[in-house]
Amino acid sequence: MPSHDYLKKILTARVYDVARETELEPAHNLSARLGNPIFLKREDNQPVFSFKVRGAYNKMAHLPASALARGVITASAGNHAQGVALSAARLGVKAVIVVPVTTPQLKVDAVRAHGGPTVEVVQHGESYSDAYAHALELQEAEGLTFVHPFDDPYVIAGQGTVAMEILRQHQGPVHAIFVPIGGGGLAAGVAAYVKAVRPEIKVIGVQTEDSCAMAQSLKAGQRVTLPEVGLFSDGTAVKLVGEETFRLCQAYLDEVLTVDTDALCAAIKDVFQDTRSVLEPAGALAVAGAKLYAGRSRIQQQTLIAVTSGANMNFDRMRFVAERAEVGEAREAIFAVTIPEERGSFRRFCELIGTRSVTEFNYRIADAQAAHLFVGVQIKNRDESAQIAQTFEAHHFATVDLTGDELSKQHIRYMVGGRSPLAHDERLFRFEFPERPGALMMFLSSMAPHWNISLFHYRNQGADYSSILVGMQVPGADHEAFERFIASLGYPCWEETANPVYRLFLA
């Protein structure tokens, strides 16, 4: 279908019975940091917290009465399912919705809530593609009409109304519009409309590195099926893009960028700081892409628009997002550092960190000759981690920069420790103190040199107070002097030596 036909379909799309015209909102903090005006197209503010309701309703509103009477079926990673459910409730039709078993429970519950008694939810497979194949089987068996989440002209046209609103809301110069891509319906609709009306504006798709079917397909010149997809950005976890969406993206998209999980987490934090709203990972893709593009192209004072496509975030994921956002924004560097197991080396190492804010400090005595530290340090830019590593090495502390290492960020940082045959006479204490720059170094400098530190764990979680776990080797004859030392520190303190968890895993 030519672009001008999509222009007509978008201009005549029926979406506003259920959807609303969302805000085009300036992101002031992000704009100041990037040196370019950044605007967010707030599709996360739709009634189903996603743009997907546009395409779903437009498709269903154009079905003949006989098809509606039989009912509809769809497959979805979650957001399209909610759009179909709400549309089915509004039109009074039966809907069967197949979602992967990996779909967040928040989205499954929302589908049932929006659809009511006429909607049946079926969970099948681990990705959208698995759910899609099962939905086709059910469609044939039950005689239902399939409402495709992306590969349908009416669905694409419904999503294209996002671009129609953007160009009406911002009639001045626009350098680029960034859109997330899963199956490609939003990108196809936006690109088709923009290139028909304002062809000078770039339309740039954004995908995750582990779910980049469109990027690989465009590079290959044909649709490519991914063997596996990453599930963090569940809303775009698509193994095979649509035929029609591929054709339109191939014709009208300027490029497709890919970003990693850390960049997504950083983008979620950026949007929160500007709007106090929490996007889902797929909803933050366009923002992550805009940041990557602005940094790579070194443009200045060019208007960039990012479609924040969804906010169906599981609350339980927020801890992971907060943890990884600092790395994604190049605000945290992580190192494995080996220091001599001798008196004073721990303090010498801390002096090298200086006034930098420490985000994490893990240590467990394990070897009579050397100690291994897992350290996180707040940084200002990506190049700083290499400079810090060079400083450690220059002072004869063997260092491995783990900032880009997925194993370390995901698992190893939580596994540092364990029992040690060298940790004799160990007493365990938990301290709390107000979190401020240099607070950790002040704490360490107050540690008397008379007793060896055998365990240390600190993690700055962004709270007003930090909690530190310290193991110190104190011979029985020194207990009285040690008690006086602890009292002199002036920090709230709890001894955990008798804690059964410590006895089970560390003592």
Question: In the chain, where are the structural domains located?
Answer: 3-47+153-325, 52-146, 330-505
Kindly tell me if the per-residue pLDDT of 1 is higher than 60.
Answer: no
| Best-predicted range by mean pLDDT (165-169, 353-357, 436-440, 448-452) | 165-169
pLDDT recorded at residue 104: 74
pLDDT value, residue 462:
57
**Which is catalytic among the residues 211, 309, 408, 454?**
309
Determine the pLDDT at residue 235. 86
Q: State the number of CA atoms in the 13 A half-sphere of 204 facing the CB.
A: 24
What is the pLDDT at residue 148? 93
Q: Does domain 330-505 have CATH number 3.40.1020.10?
A: yes
Q: Classify residue 50 by its DSSP letter.
A: B
Question: According to the model, what pLDDT value does residue 126 have?
Answer: 76
Cβ–Cβ < 8 Å for 36, 295: no
Q: Is residue 414 pLDDT above 80, yes or no?
A: no
Q: Mean pLDDT highest for which of 56-60, 400-404, 466-470?
A: 56-60
| pTM exceeding the 0.75 threshold for the entire prediction | yes
Q: What is the pLDDT of residue 204?
A: 98
CA 492, CA 422: separation in Å to the nearest integer? 28
108, pLDDT greater than 80: yes
List pLDDT tens digits, range 220-241.
999 999 988 887 898 898 899 9
172 pLDDT more than 80: yes
pLDDT at 485 over 80: yes
Amino acid letter, 225 = T
Same topology, domains 3-47+153-325 and 330-505? Answer is: no
Strands, sheet with 304-308, edge to edge from the N-terminal-most edge strand: 24-26, 38-42, 304-308, 176-180, 202-208, 255-259
In order of 78, 271, 372, 417, the CA distances from 362 in angstroms are: 39, 31, 9, 8
We find that the CATH architecture of domain 52-146 is 3-Layer(aba) Sandwich (3.40)
The predicted structure's pLDDT at residue 150: 95
User: What pLDDT, on the 0 to 100 scale, is given for residue 448?
Assistant: 58
Residue 309 among the catalytic residues:
yes
Count of H-run helices and E-run strands, the chain: 20, 18
Tell whether the model's pLDDT for residue 313 goes beyond 90. no
362/82 Cα distance (integer angstroms) = 44
For the ranges 150-159, 309-318, 444-453, the one whose mean pLDDT is highest: 150-159
Who's near 223: CB < 8 A, 6+ residues apart? 213, 217, 240, 241, 243, 246
Q: Is 219 left (phi over 0), alpha (psi -120 to 50) or beta?
A: alpha
How far apart, in whole angstroms, are the C-alpha atoms of residue 333 and residue 468?
A: 20
Q: What token pair was written down for 220?
A: 């290959």
Q: Quick one: pLDDT at residue 411? A: 67
Using 50, 70 and 90 to split pLDDT, how confident is the model at 145? very high
Give 16's pLDDT tier (boundaries 50, 70, 90).
very high
- Name the pLDDT band for 308 (thresholds 50, 70, 90): very high
Confidence band (pLDDT; 50, 70, 90) for 43? very high
Say if residue 437's pLDDT is above 70.
Answer: no
For residue 243, pLDDT beyond 90: yes
pLDDT digits (tens, 9 = 90+) for 180-195: 999 999 999 999 999 9
- The phi and psi torsions of 367 (rounded to 5 degrees) equal -140, 145
Judge contact between 184 and 210, C-beta under 8 A: no
Q: Is the pLDDT assigned to residue 79 strictly greater than 90?
A: no
Q: Residue 345 and residue 342: Cα distance in Å, rounded?
A: 6
Separation of alpha carbons 201 and 172, rounded Å: 11
pLDDT of res. 449? 61
> Measuring CA to CA, how many Å separate 297 from each of 34, 176, 203, 285, 384?
11, 12, 15, 18, 21
Neighbours of 44 (CB within 10 A): 25
* Tens digit of each residue's pLDDT (9 = 90 or more) over 461-482: 555 567 788 888 999 999 998 8
73 DSSP β-pair partners: 96, 146
Tell me how far apart the alpha carbons of residues 309 and 312 are, in angstroms, rounded to a whole number.
10
pLDDT of residue 4: 52
How much is the average pLDDT of 153-164?
98
The pLDDT, as a whole number, for residue 434 is: 67
192 within 8 A of 137, measured Cβ to Cβ: no
| Per-residue pLDDT, 415 | 64
52 pLDDT above the threshold of 80: yes
pLDDT > 90: what percent of the chain?
A: 54
Say which residue, 14 or 438, is predicted with more confidence: 14
pLDDT given at position 378: 85
Q: How confident is the model at residue 360 (pLDDT cuts 50, 70, 90)?
A: confident
CB 26 within 8 A of CB 39: yes
Identify the CATH class of 3-47+153-325.
alpha beta
* Integer Cα distance of 110 and 94 in angstroms: 17
What does the pLDDT average to over 361-374?
A: 82
Asked if residue 93 has pLDDT above 80, the reply is yes
Q: Please indicate whether residue 357 is annotated as part of the active site.
A: no
Higher pLDDT, 338 or 57: 57
Provide the pairing of β-strand 465-473 with 452-459: antiparallel
pLDDT of res. 129: 77
- Residue 310's beta-bridge partner residues? 50
Instruction: Please tell me what DSSP assigns to residue 182.
Output: S
Measure the CA–CA gap between 180 and 285, rounded to whole angstroms: 5
Selecting among 9, 52, 107, 202, the annotated active-site residue is 52
pLDDT(87) > 80? yes
Looking at residue 320, its pLDDT comes to 82
**Average pLDDT of the chain, as a whole number:** 89
Does the CA dihedral 243-246-248-250 come out positive or negative? negative
